[in-house]
């Protein structure tokens, strides 16, 4: 119990902690009612939100912000309606809270139940995407958690308006307003305070680019779930059906290159390189992809009349998020494994192979959140996996790995029931 | 890829990482064979271990170390045999690696499997208990992990001898020696290096006193699993059977006071205080327990002729680990909940009550790893829960909470199998 006066951020976290204690025992019906109230309020007060957003957009334009970022920042009545519709989908998802994960009756008659419970206070640190404000709040509420939202300062006006709407809505449903709070302040210092509020904040989830995530991981004393950085690989085995391999490669790279589950490197078994490289170069060029290749790929590019840039270690490490791909020929499957283990960010790797032994060997030697066998890397996604919604894709090994749905926003507690049991 | 020469600790961690890559795909049979080889070797080379241990014990005696600590440090041929026997029990436990945690076939025909995989490299930081060296290594090997052992410098000679035996044994079974390594050096600096070896070490588990755990949690950039600090509470409701409550209280406090699941505070509903306090004071005095009480307990002590020390905030916060207990009377169940939420370390709380509504209300409002209903706090234990063995009791909310068995030493990976699936 410190006698020092709380900073605004710490005071906010303390209120979140109190709200979390009230929120945790509330049944699903109350939490769902709050979510429906949020969806209704977003639609009813879309004008208020769009007006506040316009101020952020104007500031961003004046500051010469890139068009893509401005697009992600911009809200329209239609976009607000789409966000409200997403909230209604969260309502329909199964309640993770109270799920009995395992249970048994012990030899002495004690009844053991491991039950899912909310984490408590979840902090989300994210970039200039006001839709994340609503998505994150909805998923946290659904899983019984209080949420502290720390968006980009460039969306502060939008987020302030949205959070005002969210708080009014949850209160109308009997949920404490402080279950949803914006972290006050637009300075870096407010992020630092959030990252060191250990004991008040149960987990921080950074959503955004690699540098944001690195900062939070390095500086936070609050436990962090790392999300999203994807240096994903496609390995084409000697046993691959080469046309299938081309389709999977092009889909993995080019179907949506700006996202974390897009492929960034292709590795090809030497035994099929001569046949595969020309096919791949043609298909990648047609999809507008620039290849950063090793000597074999450069040579194949020359022969095919396709420009191939010479790859360096930076290319093996790169998460391009663009129509670029690093490409190498490897001696065998084990060399592909070694390359991937050296350079991967641990997100998703794909193997294209017909030989079951090769598939088993590859899968057993990966150390990533997801391994795709004869499928595109683009499938690593909470929606695709049938989780309904995701708060991010974890690339760490503790607690959650891969697409994080509602269960990953919970902890568990053991409830042990006896009738006066004591230990001998 | 740094060009700086590795320190001995970092070089050790890098070898562990390589060993982990070799270890992960090995089937259960090989890992079990290594564990049996360890058990046999411990017995065969017990003299070598006991001799090395004698040097540590002698040094500890010369330094005036407390008798209890020397006892925990001391190995005899019998104790070594008992440790070997524990290893054989680990062999018999179910293999967590490869367990399919969930699985389904997606609408597009993709087969989704979430499969348990080893974490990789597990670091254990612990105090002067050489048995932990073997226990931790056995549990890590069983779960497919490489282990970095950093015991107390006061057990360095014992640990060096033990690890030599373990490494010889695993090699004889076809497991890389570097799957089991002692962190070199006896200085604090070597611990600091281990705590910052992010990317090489996947998780650190500190086992020991509160100050060791706090240091690791605060200074580590490697993910940490907090274990063991237990400020556990027993709440006696107005609906409790008071004789049952006395038995549970005395068992929770006095059956083994030095461990983390022993009770440290008792809270009594005001409506039964007048009847319960004299019973409890008598039974606690008989068990040799000193009560640190609030005004009501002090007064009851006077009336009963039992000395009760006046409690301060330090008592509410204390993990005594001794025959002491803090004691208060509370106005009602909600006041008990508020007290516990303010002071608990999040380990185990017990409620003694006959009223089902009171039990439901209490259980739903706790925020701890375990809640005992009409049972002693002493049951929070991997062995008691039927997990066979535990690496510690987690008091944090992410990844593992409560007794940690073999599954808690694993992560998961999604294996997704298609036949050329691409995303539209």
Within an 8 Å CB–CB cutoff, is residue B106 touching chain A?
A: yes
- Residue A192 CB partners (closer than 8 Å, separation 6+): A219
Within an 8 Å CB–CB cutoff, is residue B67 touching chain A?
A: no
Chain A CA closest to residue B202: A397
The burial of A412, by beta-carbon neighbours within 10 Å (0-12 exposed, 13-18 middle, 19 or more buried), is given as buried
Q: Under a CB-based contact definition with an 8 Å cutoff, are residues B328 and B311 in contact?
A: yes
Q: For residues B280 and B242, what is the distance between their CA atoms, to the nearest angstrom?
A: 9
Beta pairing, strands B308-310 & B263-269: unpaired
| DSSP 8-state code for residue B369 | S
Verify whether the Cβ–Cβ distance A255 to B422 is below 8 Å.
Answer: yes
Q: Mean pLDDT, chain A, as a whole number?
A: 95
What angle is formed at CA A248 by the lines to CA A245 and CA A253, rounded to 5 degrees? Answer: 125
Lowest mean pLDDT of B6-15, B155-164, B205-214, B330-339, name the range: B205-214
Within an 8 Å CB–CB cutoff, is residue B120 touching chain A?
A: yes
Q: Is the pLDDT of residue B422 over 70?
A: yes
Residue A1: per-residue pLDDT: 43
Q: Under a CB-based contact definition with an 8 Å cutoff, are residues B417 and B111 in contact?
A: yes
Helix/strand/coil for B120: coil
For the beta sheet containing A410-421, the strands, ordered from the edge strand earlier in sequence to the opposite edge, are A100-105, A111-118, A410-421, B370-375, B348-352, B232-236, B263-269, B324-330, B290-293, B308-310
Q: What Rg value do the Cα atoms of chain B yield, rounded?
A: 24
Identify which of B120, B116, B142 has the alpha carbon closest to the alpha carbon of residue B200: B120
Q: Under a CB-based contact definition with an 8 Å cutoff, are residues B336 and B343 in contact?
A: no
Q: For residues A104 and A107, what is the distance between their CA atoms, to the nearest angstrom?
A: 9
Of A119, A366, A374, the CB nearest to B417: A374
Verify whether the Cβ–Cβ distance A366 to B241 is below 8 Å.
Answer: no
Cα-flanking dihedrals φ and ψ of residue B218, to 5°? Answer: -75, -35
Verify whether the Cβ–Cβ distance A421 to B203 is below 8 Å.
Answer: no
Cα-flanking dihedrals φ and ψ of residue B285, to 5°? Answer: -60, -40
CB < 8 Å to A313, chain B: 1
List domains and CATH numbers for chain A.
Answer: 8-226+400-417 (3.40.605.10), 232-384 (3.40.309.10)
Q: Where is B256: in which H helix or E strand?
A: none
Verify whether the Cβ–Cβ distance B112 to A217 is below 8 Å.
Answer: no
Verify whether the Cβ–Cβ distance A367 to B423 is below 8 Å.
Answer: no
Q: For residues B58 and A88, what is the distance between their CA atoms, to the nearest angstrom?
A: 69
Q: Under a CB-based contact definition with an 8 Å cutoff, are residues A129 and A103 in contact?
A: no
Residue B217: per-residue pLDDT: 83
CB < 8 Å to A241, chain B: 420
Within an 8 Å CB–CB cutoff, is residue A321 touching chain B?
A: no
**Within chain A, which residues score under 70 in pLDDT?**
1-4
Q: Is the pLDDT of residue B274 over 80?
A: yes
CB < 8 Å to B114, chain A: 402
Residue A4: per-residue pLDDT: 67
What b/e readout covers B393-417, taking b as 16+ CB neighbours within 10 angstroms? bbbbbbbbbbbbbbbbbbbbbbbbb
What angle is formed at CA A407 by the lines to CA A402 and CA A409, rounded to 5 degrees? Answer: 85
The alpha carbon of residue B371 is apart from the nearest alpha carbon of chain A, in Å, by 5
Verify whether the Cβ–Cβ distance B248 to A24 is below 8 Å.
Answer: no
Identify which of B99, B72, B227, B237 has the alpha carbon closest to the alpha carbon of residue B154: B72
Average of pLDDT values for B170-177?
A: 98
| DSSP 8-state code for residue B261 | T
Average of pLDDT values for B213-241?
A: 91
Partners of residue B198 on adjacent β-strands: B201
Verify whether the Cβ–Cβ distance B375 to A421 is below 8 Å.
Answer: yes
Chain A CA closest to residue B261: A423
Torsion of the alpha carbons at A267, A268, A273 and A278, rounded to the nearest 10: -60
Verify whether the Cβ–Cβ distance A247 to B422 is below 8 Å.
Answer: yes
Q: What is the DSSP string of B187-254?
A: SHHHHHHHHT-BTTB-EEEEES-HHHHHHHHHH-SS-B--B----EEEEE-TTS-HHHHHHHHHHHHH
Residue B209: per-residue pLDDT: 78
Residue A63: per-residue pLDDT: 95
Q: For residues B313 and A139, what is the distance between their CA atoms, to the nearest angstrom?
A: 38
Identify which of B355, B401, B358, B352 has the alpha carbon closest to the alpha carbon of residue B373: B352
Lowest mean pLDDT of B57-61, B75-79, B209-213, B305-309, name the range: B209-213
Verify whether the Cβ–Cβ distance B110 to A375 is below 8 Å.
Answer: yes
Q: How many CB pairs under 8 A join A and B?
A: 207
The alpha carbon of residue B250 is apart from the nearest alpha carbon of chain A, in Å, by 9
Q: Under a CB-based contact definition with an 8 Å cutoff, are residues B183 and B12 in contact?
A: yes
Q: Under a CB-based contact definition with an 8 Å cutoff, are residues A125 and A194 in contact?
A: yes
Verify whether the Cβ–Cβ distance A420 to B114 is below 8 Å.
Answer: no
Whole-angstrom CA distances from A19 to A25, A125, A159, B349 are: 11, 20, 20, 21
At B2, the pLDDT band (50, 70, 90 cuts) reads very low
B residues 337..396 contacting A (CB < 8 A): 341, 361, 363-376, 378-380, 384-386, 396
Q: Where is B54: in which H helix or E strand?
A: helix B46-62
CB < 8 Å to B363, chain A: 415
Average of pLDDT values for B350-376?
A: 98
- Give the CB-side neighbour count of residue B271, counting CA atoms within 13 A: 12
The alpha carbon of residue A169 is apart from the nearest alpha carbon of chain B, in Å, by 24
B residues 138..197 contacting A (CB < 8 A): none
Average of pLDDT values for B171-185?
A: 96
| DSSP 8-state code for residue B382 | T
Q: For the segment B110-138, what is each residue's pLDDT rounded down to a tens digit?
A: 999 999 999 999 999 998 889 999 999 99
First to last CA, chain A: 38
CB < 8 Å to B372, chain A: 416, 418
CB < 8 Å to B374, chain A: 417-421
At B221, the pLDDT band (50, 70, 90 cuts) reads confident
Chain A CA closest to residue B354: A419
Verify whether the Cβ–Cβ distance A397 to B418 is below 8 Å.
Answer: no
Q: For residues B378 and B262, what is the distance between their CA atoms, to the nearest angstrom?
A: 6
Chain A CA closest to residue B251: A422
The ipTM value here is 0.94
Of B386, B419, B423, the CB nearest to A378: B423
Verify whether the Cβ–Cβ distance B397 to A202 is below 8 Å.
Answer: yes
Interface test with A, best of B96, B110, B340 (most A CBs within 10 A): B110
The alpha carbon of residue A57 is apart from the nearest alpha carbon of chain B, in Å, by 32
Query: pTM surpassing 0.95?
Result: no
Partners of residue B89 on adjacent β-strands: none
């Amino acid at each position: 119990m410190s006698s020092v006066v709380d900073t605004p951020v710490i005071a906010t976290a303390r209120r979140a902690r109190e709200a979390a204690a009230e929120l945790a025992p509330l049944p699903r019906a109350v939490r769902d009612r709050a979510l429906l109230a949020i969806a209704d309020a977003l639609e009813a007060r879309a004008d208020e939100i769009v007006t506040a957003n316009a101020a952020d957009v104007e500031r961003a334009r004046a500051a010469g912000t890139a068009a893509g970022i401005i697009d992600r920042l911009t809200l329209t009545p239609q976009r607000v309606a789409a966000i409200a519709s997403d909230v209604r989908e969260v309502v329909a998802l199964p309640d993770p809270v109270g799920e009995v994960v395992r249970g048994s009756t012990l030899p002495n008659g004690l009844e053991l139940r491991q039950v899912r419970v909310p984490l408590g206070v979840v902090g989300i640190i994210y970039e200039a995407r006001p839709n994340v404000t609503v998505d994150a709040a909805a998923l946290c509420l659904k899983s019984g958690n209080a949420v502290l939202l720390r968006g980009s300062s460039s969306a502060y006006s939008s987020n302030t308006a949205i959070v005002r709407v969210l708080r009014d809505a949850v209160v109308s449903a009997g949920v404490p307003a402080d279950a949803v709070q914006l972290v006050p302040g637009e300075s870096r210092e407010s992020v630092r305070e959030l990252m060191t509020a250990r004991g008040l904040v149960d987990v921080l989830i950074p959503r955004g680019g690699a540098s944001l995530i690195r900062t939070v991981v390095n500086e936070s004393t609050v436990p962090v779930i790392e999300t999203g950085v994807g240096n994903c690989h496609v390995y084409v085995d000697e046993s691959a059906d080469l046309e299938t391999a081309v389709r999977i490669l092009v889909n993995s790279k080019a179907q949506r290159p700006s996202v974390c589950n897009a492929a960034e490197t292709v590795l090809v078994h030497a035994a099929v390189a001569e046949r595969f490289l020309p096919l791949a170069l043609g298909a990648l060029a047609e999809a507008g992809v620039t290849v950063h290749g090793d000597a074999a790929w450069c040579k194949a590019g020359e022969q095919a009349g396709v420009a191939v840039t010479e790859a360096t270690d930076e290319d093996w490490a790169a998460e391009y998020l663009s129509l670029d791909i690093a490409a190498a020929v490897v001696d065998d499957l084990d060399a592909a494994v070694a390359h991937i283990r050296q350079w991967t960010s641990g997100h998703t790797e794909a193997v294209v192979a017909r030989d079951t032994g090769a598939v088993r060997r590859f899968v057993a030697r990966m150390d990533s959140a997801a391994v795709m066998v004869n499928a595109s890397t683009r499938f690593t996604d909470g929606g695709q996996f049938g989780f309904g919604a995701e708060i991010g894709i974890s690339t760490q090994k503790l607690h959650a790995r891969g697409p994080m749905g509602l269960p990953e926003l919970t902890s568990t507690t053991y409830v042990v029931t006896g009738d006066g049991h004591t230990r001998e």
